[in-house]
Homo-oligomer: A and B are copies of this chain.
Amino acid sequence: MEKVVNAIQDSYPEDFSWCYGCGQLNNSGHHFRTGWQGEQTITIYEPLPEHTAIPGFVYGGLIASLIDCHGTGSSSLALHQKNGHEVGTGTPPRFVTASLHVDFLKPTPQGVPLKAIGTVEEIHPKKWKVHTEVYAQDVLCAKGEVVAVVMPSTFASQQL
Interface, chain A (partner B; CB < 8 A): 15-16, 18-21, 23, 26-29, 50-57, 59-62, 64-65, 68-69, 96-104, 106-107, 109, 136-137, 139, 155-156, 158-160
Q: How far is the CB of A120 from chain B (nearest CB, A)?
A: 18
**CB closest chain-B residue, reference A98:** B104
Q: How far is the CA of A155 from the CA of B104 in the complex (A)?
A: 13
* A27 partner residues in chain B, CB cutoff 8 A: 50
* A100 partner residues in chain B, CB cutoff 8 A: 60, 64, 100-102, 104
A-B residue pairs in contact (CB < 8 Å), sample of 12: A18-B52, A19-B52, A20-B50, A20-B53, A26-B52, A98-B104, A99-B102, A99-B103, A100-B100, A100-B101, A106-B158, A107-B156
